[in-house]
Amino acid sequence: MKLFLDTADVAVIKDMVPTGMVDGVTTNPSLIAKSGRNIAEVIAEICALVEGPISAEAVATDFETMVREGDKLAAIAPNVVVKLPLTWDGLRATRVFADKGVRTNVTLCFSAAQAMLAAKAGATFVSPFVGRLEDHGADGIGLLEEIRVLFDTHDFTTEILAASLRNPGHVSAAAVAGADAATIPADVFKALVKHPLTDKGLDAFLADWGKTGQSIL
């Protein structure tokens, strides 16, 4: 499963890229607003740091303006993925971009039926929001499982990009459910490596090694 950073903070991306685990980046209007920077400048800088797909979101709600915005975003760099909302206008724009060979990420997916429409429109990625579903008492991971079965049954090539993942458990469950990728905030990304027994075991190993008085170097 590919791991994407969900951020528009270039400093955070620079910090995480050396891990070798960052396969891409997703942004959204809220993250761009939080950065306080011009969207084109931010996306260009991120694209230069990460070779993988970089989602940049159109903010228009009508078809014609979505396409114009998407064209402008896609022109920033070859690895830009145009992010579009799961609405009829968004799906129409998705088809236009698919026909032009421009990759898309259809976001705000909350049902298997919506995911099917995104796939039929030619989306590169569809982003089911796990955490937001769970906020309303629904089964977010169960939705990923449904979409996986649906896509496999009908040979859809659209990739499942699990979003709104709020803890390491969500990320592990998304991987087991068959998501092709997961987008996660930096704090959750960093937490994936942590386990109290790992820390305890390392402390014990180091304590025992210190008693030997040896040095490997």
Active-site residue list: 83
What DSSP state is assigned to residue 62?
Answer: S
CA atoms within 13 A on the CB side of 63: 10
Task: Report whether 40 contacts 56 (CB < 8 A).
Answer: no
Euclidean distance between CA atoms 6 and 197, whole angstroms: 28
C-alpha distances in Å from residue 69, one per residue of 32, 63, 106 = 15, 10, 15
Task: Report whether 169 contacts 148 (CB < 8 A).
Answer: no
